[in-house]
Structure 1
Amino acid sequence: MPPKKTKTKSKSTKGPASGTLLPRPPPKSKVKQSSKMKPKTEPKAKPKSKSSKSTASTGSMKKKKQGKEKEITRYYKLPCDNMKTKEDVVKAFGYTIEKQLDKGGFGTIFIASDNRKGVKVAVKWMDLGIADNDPRMLDTRNELTILEQVRHPYVIRLHCHFIVQIDGKNNMYIFMELADGGNLYKYIQKTGVPDEALGKKYFAQILCGINHMHGYNIAHRDLQNVLLVANDRSISGDYLLRVTDFGLSTTVKKEPASGAIVLSKTVCGTPLFMAPELYEKKKYDAFQVDVWALGVALYLLMTLESPFDFKRPPAELLAAMKGRKYEWPLEKMKEGAVSPGLTDITAAMLTPDPAARKRLIQLINHEWVAAEYAAAHDLSDTLKAEELAGVSSSKSKG
């Protein structure tokens, strides 16, 4: 069942007054395309300062003032007003950054305290270079735009974000929900692979999150990280699974006359999850690239192994993919066997020809996972309704 397109009102408030609003990424960037949703939460408004040191607008910021583009985040050039350090801006937004969790090419992840709500959150810090048109800046704007649009129980929750420029460097801060269960695949490395009954419930949640994105014409294109948030109401009884990392996501266009999908050109993604058409550098249907990645994700979930040997030379790897040369390592599976249903749905996703590969609507109705998907979808509707009711309640009390 396709996702319902509901309009969720943000609980946003204005950030520190001297922050300049940055515009959304241009409709046609080199790698990614943007959506058109408004930004969400920021901290409570601070008294406006009369200081003359407020942030200077760049050319792209001027476009926003002329009403040609919508804002995506706030930008603070330090020193300005009463803020002299990055920590001052973080504090003004109501957070205190604590210990480091992880570090990689994507940036550095820290645990932080939300001082207003008394809860722990995650914050991703990134060095975005010194130029407003730095590719890292454009990529981050794309990720924020996607996160704002695809708010959903099976997508990581965004709290707020802003850029601080100090000593000529742009520093991006993205405050998000803390995934207390960590990464799905690291979790099952510790606990062991699930049996099919539990595997279905995990996979159904991932399907639900990706189907929601596709309902907004957004393809993920890098489905290598799924996070766990403890919730005993989850259909699996332990965690809600959250799709995350939207830096390579893209808005999929359709031909006005025929409605046919406009094929993508950019070769991107994590090699383990990339479809054969990406290795062949062909134009591709970004939705079908996600379907292939879902097939890899399911195989990895049930075996902790990749269906294909990525240590092979590229030509041999591609031949194995196109020849569907993978087997189930039964000795590493929970039940020591694989059911016909699991075999069939995996083969449907790992079909090398994207035109013959099953589409997402067919997967969610596949007999192996249809019941679990329906349960995941129903729970997501319930959680969204409760969130909306909570927003309405807090507004009425205010």
Structure 2
Amino acid sequence: MDDAVVLGKKGYSLSKTLGEGSYGKVKSAYCDRLKRNVAIKIIDKRKTPQDFLERFLPREIEALKRLQHPSIIKTYEIFETSAGKVYIVMELGEKGDLLDYIKITGAMKEDIARIKFQQLASAIKHCHDSDFAHRDLKCENILLDVDLNIKLSDFGFSKSLSRDENGKTILSKTFCGSAAYAAPEVLQGIPCDPRASDIWSLGVILYTMVYALMPFDDSNVRNMISIQKQHRIPFPSSKNLTVECKDLIYRLLQPNVSQRMCIDEVLKHSWLHINASTGDLRVHFPRRQAHTACR
């Protein structure tokens, strides 16, 4: 039975294909019950590797069921047919992904970037507080709704954090994500707390928002890692960013994991608390405590 027939019986009218990946495709559809357009991820278990079925698909489904946040794509329904197809019905990002948006509109003004980054960071805080790391943060996995609000998506590489007998987070040893957004410790295969790697990816995303450029050239990964470890971040003079914005990017792209911010520190950074109309800080925060308190 084809997808249109299966979904039609459940009240979904299939439309165009939004994207195709290695193990599935995403189509838009109209839902009679919800009276709105939705996105439906279709995975054919017969055509996917065993490793994906045993490790990554269950993690994604677990994340989608557990993570409920205004800036995380909403999941309406997940079901599987006897033919081995999994259907994940989700909120539709009507305005596409963040990368396409930046390609069309160019670099964002700081006031616009601040709003979007605040939404994204709050979504990541929800993930981290729920003991989930996304592990594949990139502009392509950030969707925009009809009002251009951030909707974090694609939890295929997400991981529920586990702890040892002493309560310490068990480090991740798996490379996930895209090299251009991946932290140097991930690229080097060093066991790491995947939440810290998410923070690095946030830095790449913020840089891309305000410059419409990537901070590092990933055409030569070895050379890129060398530059990253020297904490060399190019700030083009073509755009005058505020000191606060540059400071946040610089702290996010901190190669030393022990000195990198945690998500609570990110959300307390002064740049996120600048009044858009006056340029003044709305809130004064005390001096940051030692980073080890966040781990």
The answer, yes or no, to whether TM exceeds 0.5 is: yes
- The answer to whether the Cα contact below 8 Å between 1:180 and 1:228 also exists between their aligned partners in 2 is yes
2:242 equivalent in structure 1: 339
Which structure: larger Rg?
Answer: 1
- The answer to whether the Cα contact below 8 Å between 2:59 and 2:160 also exists between their aligned partners in 1 is no
Query: What does 1:122-201 align with in structure 2 at a 5 Å threshold?
Result: 122-129=39-46, 134-138=50-54, 139-166=56-83, 170-201=84-115
Normalising by structure 1, we get a TM-score of 0.65
The one of 145, 150, 159 aligned to 1:250: 159
Query: What does 1:198-217 align with in structure 2 at a 5 Å threshold?
Result: 198-217=112-131
The one of 351, 355, 358 aligned to 2:254: 351
- The answer to whether the Cα contact below 8 Å between 1:108 and 1:124 also exists between their aligned partners in 2 is yes
Q: Deviations over 1:145-190 (max 9, x none)?
A: 1011001101001111222343xxx322211111111101211211
- The answer to whether the Cα contact below 8 Å between 2:64 and 2:75 also exists between their aligned partners in 1 is yes
Find the aligned partners of 2:227 and 2:23 in 1 and give their Cα distance.
30
Q: Which SS does the other structure have where 1:204 is aligned? A: helix
Normalising by structure 2, we get a TM-score of 0.87
Give the CA deviation at 1:216: 0.4
CA shift in 2, pair 1:210/1:116, >3 Å: same
Find the aligned partners of 2:112 and 2:214 in 1 and give their Cα distance.
20
2:207 equivalent in structure 1: 299
User: What's the C-alpha RMSD, in Å, of the aligned pairs?
Assistant: 1.8
CA shift in 2, pair 1:320/1:106, >3 Å: farther
CA shift in 2, pair 1:85/1:111, >3 Å: closer
The one of 151, 171, 183 aligned to 1:263: 171
Unaligned runs of 5+ in 2: 276-295
- The answer to whether the Cα contact below 8 Å between 1:128 and 1:136 also exists between their aligned partners in 2 is no
Report which of the two has the higher share of helix. Answer: 2
Q: Which SS does the other structure have where 1:358 is aligned? A: coil
2:132 equivalent in structure 1: 218
One-letter code of the match for 1:357?
R
Find the aligned partners of 1:307 and 1:106 in 2 and give their Cα distance.
30
One-letter code of the match for 2:12?
Y
Q: How many aligned positions are there?
A: 272
Unaligned runs of 5+ in 1: 1-83, 232-238, 373-398
Give the CA deviation at 1:85: 4.8
The one of 129, 143, 147 aligned to 1:227: 143
One-letter code of the match for 1:203?
F
Give the CA deviation at 1:371: 5.9
CA shift in 2, pair 1:249/1:371, >3 Å: farther
1:364 equivalent in structure 2: 267
One-letter code of the match for 2:164?
E
1:308 equivalent in structure 2: 216
Q: Deviations over 1:263-282 (max 9, x none)?
A: 11111111111101111111
Give the CA deviation at 1:228: 0.4
One-letter code of the match for 1:265?
K
